[in-house]
């Protein structure tokens, strides 16, 4: 709409009030502004790893809706839309929101305060939906909150501009036309939403597929429980089972891949009798095993915390390989991720009787996106860089002579068995403690061999045995505690562990590269 400024008199005759539908369009565009900004900010939050990494408002509302859908409605939706039921739900949410926003826009024209309150209420519903998602943090509402504020501002401004245009004041000549604000507001909203989705990939579909997996898993064929006494529950010592939210994360992904499980597949290729490809539904229908396995990063320094123990649920890799039939001569399986990362694992470790898993759950939950949803490999006894491929998409049966994992040409050993090590968690180095009884405690690990003994040395004293927590499995770490009679002064405390073969950990100081750090963890404490 062009304003013919040159011919307009100084006091223009007031324009007629804009037609009603202008308010409805304003409402819809305000909704676009809110959703666009909310989507973009949620994407930025999730990319920079802030807050709980919750989905943008629309996906959150759809997800919250799924969780609260009665079974009959779920069945109806799956019957009517098949595997497109999630997409149908997203489309339905958008349509419903459009209608609601149009109505609110009409109300704003008649009774502005009421309209703005209604619009805020829609924002509150969005924020509640975000908060109700598994693992949500309070700060996850910020994108939707800011988006709602921007939408409210847009609505008010539209009414103000139209009033100004009608006023006949000199300033009315510069008042923005409805078309202009719709193009600007709507355009920016769409671009923001598009860019947000681009940042996180097809995040909404991925989130919906992960949400759908929360309570659809069949029970595993074996259930692993933490034996009483495996966790000494000493304050400051890493918990025996590390909660998913606290689990260390290592990968080469700048943006965490958000894979839509419904379109994901896992292929077996290379030196096999028959190439195989399984999809999500097939994988989920397999008999699942549970296993307690401590994952460990080769980059961990002596005393470092790039390690964690979890209960993993998955289908044994050996069962999948059996279906493909590896050819004689193959000695490595190169597992590949959707983001191109690869790990070279000795085929032996994937086919022997240890529970090497295509894991789909971590501590009873679908894998968090950061830890490889929908599926990852977990191998007891090997460092992560040669085994634990997240977002796994292909297993190529090959040989160490023909293929290399991601880290091997970058200076790391092709083979990565975990070394026996131990760590003091309390007291921490530099701490000041009171003289008398002090619990010196921590963890020790020798995955797939097991820990048989841990000893502690104070200053130049003898190595004294620590008390070991109950052994859960040779594949998991083991807590230990040593009751120290602390005397005043400064003291060095050291720890060393033995694996089940009786071999003590290496006391030689070695850096992480090329195949794992060794040395004795030592803390220095002051006693008053
Ligand atoms: N796709 C992918 N998977 C990966 C990696 C990676 O960079 N990309 N890093 C590996 C390494 S080095 C480790 S130690 C483990 C860490 O797993 P976590 O982040 O779940 O603790 O993942 C392994 N799997
Ligand atoms: Mo690692």
Which pLDDT does position 10 carry in this prediction?
45
361 alpha carbon – ligand 1 mean position (Å): 16
* Distinct helix (H) and strand (E) counts, the chain: 11, 19
Q: How far is CA 259 from CA 83, 146, 243, in A?
A: 16, 27, 22
Per-residue pLDDT tens, the chain, 528 aa: give them.
Answer: 444 444 444 445 556 778 889 999 999 999 999 999 998 998 888 767 655 555 677 877 876 776 666 667 766 765 677 545 667 777 888 899 999 999 999 999 999 999 999 999 999 999 998 888 756 778 889 999 999 999 999 999 999 988 888 887 777 777 788 999 999 999 999 999 888 877 776 577 888 899 899 888 778 889 999 999 999 999 999 999 999 999 998 887 656 788 999 999 999 999 999 999 999 999 999 999 999 999 999 999 999 999 999 999 999 999 999 999 999 999 999 999 987 899 999 999 999 999 999 999 999 999 999 999 999 999 999 999 999 999 999 999 999 999 999 899 888 999 999 999 999 999 999 999 999 999 999 999 999 999 999 999 999 999 999 999 999 999 999 999 999 999 999 999 999 999 999 999 999 999 999 999 999 999 999 999
- Which of 301, 312, 356, 384 most suits a substitution to test ligand 1, by most atoms within 8 Å of the C-beta? 384
The rounded distance, in Å, linking the Cα atoms of 228 and 143 is: 43
Dist. CA 87–CA 70, nearest whole Å: 18
Atom of ligand 1 nearest to the CA of 407: 12
Give the C-alpha separation, 298 to 526, whole Å. 32
Residue whose Cα lies nearest atom 9 of ligand 1: it is 251
Q: Report the candidate in 386, 423, 408 with the shortest Cα–Cα distance to residue 307.
A: 423
Q: What is the DSSP string of 59-100?
A: HHHHHHHHHT--HHHHHHHHHHHGGGHHHHHHHHHHHHHHHH
Q: Which atom of ligand 1 is found nearest the CA of 252?
A: 7
Q: What share of the chain is helix, strand, coil (3-state, %, to 5)?
A: 40, 25, 40
State the distance from the centre of ligand 2 to the C-alpha of 495, rounded, in angstroms.
23
Residue nearest atom 5 of ligand 1, based on CA coordinates: 251
Distance 391 CA to ligand 1 centre (A): 10
Please tell me the number of the ligand nearest to residue 341's CA.
1
Three-point CA angle 471, 476, 482, nearest 5° = 55
Ligand 2 mean position, distance from CA 513 (Å) = 11
Nearest CA among 477, 425, 443 for reference residue 293: 477
Ligand whose nearest atom lies closest to the CA of 309 = 1
CB of 2 within 8 A of CB of 69? Answer: no
> What is the CB < 6 Å shell around ligand 1?
247-252, 295, 297, 337, 339, 341, 371, 384-385, 388-391
* Closest C-alpha to ligand 1, atom 6: 251
Q: How far is the CA of 308 from the centre of ligand 1 (A)?
A: 12
Q: Which atom of ligand 1 is nearest to the CA of 298?
A: 14
Ligand 2: distance of its center to the CA of 369 in Å? Answer: 17
Distance 372 CA to ligand 2 centre (A): 14
Q: Are 34 and 151 in contact (CB under 8 A)?
A: yes
Query: Rounded to a whole number, what is the distance in angstroms from the first to the last CA of the chain?
Result: 81
Alpha-carbon distance values, 476 to 176, 295, 450 (Å): 66, 8, 8
Distance 311 CA to ligand 1 centre (A): 17
| Ligand 1 atom, smallest distance to 337 CA | 1
Farthest-apart Cα atoms in the chain, separation: 101
CA-nearest residue, atom 15 of ligand 1 = 384
Which of 259, 388, 419, 512, when mutated, tests ligand 1's pocket best, judged by the most ligand atoms within 8 Å of its CB? 388
Q: What are phi and psi of 481, to 5 degrees?
A: -145, 145
Q: Which ligand is nearest to the Cα of residue 372, counting in written order? A: 1
Pocket perturbation via mutation, ligand 1, pick of 249, 250, 264 by most ligand atoms within 8 A of CB: 250
Domain 214-410, CATH class in plain words: alpha beta
- Cβ atoms 21, 162 nearer than 8 A: no
Cα(267) to ligand 2 centroid in Å equals 24
CA triplet 133, 38, 32: central angle to 5 degrees?
A: 120
Residue the block writes with tokens 């296993």: 291
Per-residue pLDDT, 134: 57
In this prediction, residue 6 carries a pLDDT of 45
Atom of ligand 1 nearest to the CA of 247: 21
CA distance 493 to 477: 20
| Helix (H) or strand (E) segment spanning residue 353 | none
Q: What pLDDT score does 64 carry?
A: 74
**Ligand nearest the Cα atom of residue 388:** 1
Q: Can you give the pLDDT at residue 138?
A: 85
b/e map of 418-445 (b: 16 or more CB within 10 Å)? bbbbbbbbbbeeeeebeeeebbbbbbbb
**Residue 110 three-state SS:** helix
Q: Positive or negative CA dihedral for 28, 34, 39, 44? A: positive
Q: Can you list the pairs that 448-451 forms with residues at least 24 positions away whose Cβ atoms lie under 8 Å?
A: 448/354, 448/380, 448/381, 448/418, 448/474, 448/475, 449/381, 449/420, 449/474, 449/499, 449/500, 449/501, 450/474, 450/478, 450/499, 450/500, 451/420, 451/477, 451/478, 451/497, 451/498, 451/499, 451/500
Residues 6+ apart with CB under 8 A from 361: 217, 288, 312, 313, 314, 367
User: 190 C-alpha vs ligand 2 centroid, how far in Å?
Assistant: 39
Which numbered ligand comes closest to the C-alpha of 295? 1
Nearest ligand to the C-alpha atom of residue 513: 2
Return the DSSP state at 298.
T
pLDDT value at residue 202: 59
> What ligand has the least distance to the C-alpha of 407?
1
Q: Using CA positions, which residue lies closest to atom 7 of ligand 1?
A: 251
Handedness of CA 59, 65, 376, 82 (dihedral sign): negative
Report how far ligand 1's centroid is from the alpha carbon of 264 (Å).
19
Handedness of CA 320, 324, 325, 328 (dihedral sign): negative
Ligand 1 atom nearest to CA at 308:
21
Residue closest to 334 by CA, chosen among 268, 249, 286: 268
Q: Are 492 and 424 in contact (CB under 8 A)?
A: no
For residues 141 and 51, the answer to whether their CB atoms sit within 8 Å is no
Residue 113's pLDDT is 95
Query: Could you tell me if 334 and 395 are in contact, meaning their C-beta atoms sit under 8 angstroms apart?
Result: yes
CA 252 to ligand 1 center in whole angstroms: 8
Q: Smallest Cα–Cα separation from 314: which of 258, 379, 267?
A: 379
Which residue's C-alpha comes closest to atom 12 of ligand 1? 385
Q: Whose CA is nearest to atom 8 of ligand 1?
A: 251
- Compute the distance from residue 98 Cα to the ligand 1 centre, in Å: 42
Burial (CB count within 10 angstroms: exposed 0-12, middle 13-18, buried 19+), residue 111: exposed
The helix or strand, by DSSP H or E, that contains position 296, with its residue range, turns out to be strand 289-296
| Matching CATH number, 421-527, of 2.40.170.20, 2.40.50.140, 2.60.120.650, 2.60.40.650 | 2.60.40.650
Domain spans, the chain: 21-201, 214-410, 421-527
């Amino acid at each position: 709409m062009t304003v013919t400024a040159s011919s307009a008199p100084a006091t223009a005759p007031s324009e007629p009030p804009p037609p009603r539908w202008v308010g409805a369009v304003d409402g819809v565009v305000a909704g676009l502004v809110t959703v666009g900004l909310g989507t973009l900010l949620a994407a930025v939050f999730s990319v920079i790893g802030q807050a709980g990494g919750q989905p943008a408002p629309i996906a959150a509302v759809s997800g919250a809706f799924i969780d609260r859908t009665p079974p009959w409605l779920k069945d109806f939706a799956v019957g009517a839309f098949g595997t497109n039921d999630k997409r149908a739900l997203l489309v339905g949410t958008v349509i419903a929101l459009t209608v609601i926003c149009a109505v609110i826009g009409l109300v704003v024209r008649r009774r502005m305060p009421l309209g703005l309150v209604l619009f805020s209420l829609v924002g509150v519903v969005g924020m509640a939906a975000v908060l109700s998602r598994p693992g949500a943090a309070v700060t996850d509402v910020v994108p939707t909150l800011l988006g709602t504020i921007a939408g409210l501002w847009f609505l008010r401004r539209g009414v103000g501009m139209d009033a100004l245009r009608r006023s006949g004041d000199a300033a009315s000549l510069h008042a923005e036309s409805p078309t202009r604000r719709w193009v600007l507001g709507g355009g920016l909203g769409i671009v923001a939403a598009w860019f947000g989705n681009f940042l996180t990939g097809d995040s909404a579909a991925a989130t919906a597929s992960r949400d759908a997996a929360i309570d659809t898993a069949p029970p595993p064929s074996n259930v692993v429980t933490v034996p009483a006494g495996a966790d000494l529950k000493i304050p400051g010592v890493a918990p025996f089972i590390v909660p998913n939210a606290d689990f260390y994360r290592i990968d080469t992904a700048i943006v965490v891949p958000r894979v839509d499980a419904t379109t994901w597949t896992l292929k077996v290729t290379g030196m096999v009798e028959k190439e195989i490809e399984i999809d999500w539904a097939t994988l989920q229908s397999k008999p699942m095993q549970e296993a307690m396995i401590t994952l460990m990063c080769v980059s961990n320094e002596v005393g470092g915390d790039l390690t964690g123990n979890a209960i993993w649920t998955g289908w044994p890799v050996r069962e999948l390989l059996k279906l493909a039939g590896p050819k004689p001569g193959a000695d490595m399986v190169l597992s590949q991720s959707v983001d191109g990362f690869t790990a070279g694992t000795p085929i032996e470790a994937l086919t022997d009787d240890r529970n090497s898993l295509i894991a789909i759950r971590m501590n009873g939950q679908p894998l968090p996106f950061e830890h490889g949803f929908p599926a990852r490999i977990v191998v007891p006894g090997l460092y992560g860089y040669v085994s634990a491929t997240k977002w796994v998409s292909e297993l190529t049966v090959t040989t160490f002579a023909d293929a290399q994992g991601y880290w091997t040409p970058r200076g790391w050993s092709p083979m990565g068995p975990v070394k026996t090590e131990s760590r003091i968690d309390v007291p921490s180095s530099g701490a000041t403690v009171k003289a008398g009884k002090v619990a010196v405690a921590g963890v020790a690990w020798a995955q797939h061999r097991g820990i048989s003994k841990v000893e502690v040395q104070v200053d130049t004293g003898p190595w004294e045995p620590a008390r070991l927590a109950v052994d859960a499995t040779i594949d998991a770490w083991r807590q230990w505690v040593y009751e120290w009679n602390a005397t005043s002064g400064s003291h060095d405390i050291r720890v060393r562990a033995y694996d089940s073969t009786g071999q003590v950990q290496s006391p030689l100081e070695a850096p992480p590269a090329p195949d794992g750090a060794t040395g004795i963890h030592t803390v220095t404490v002051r006693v008053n």
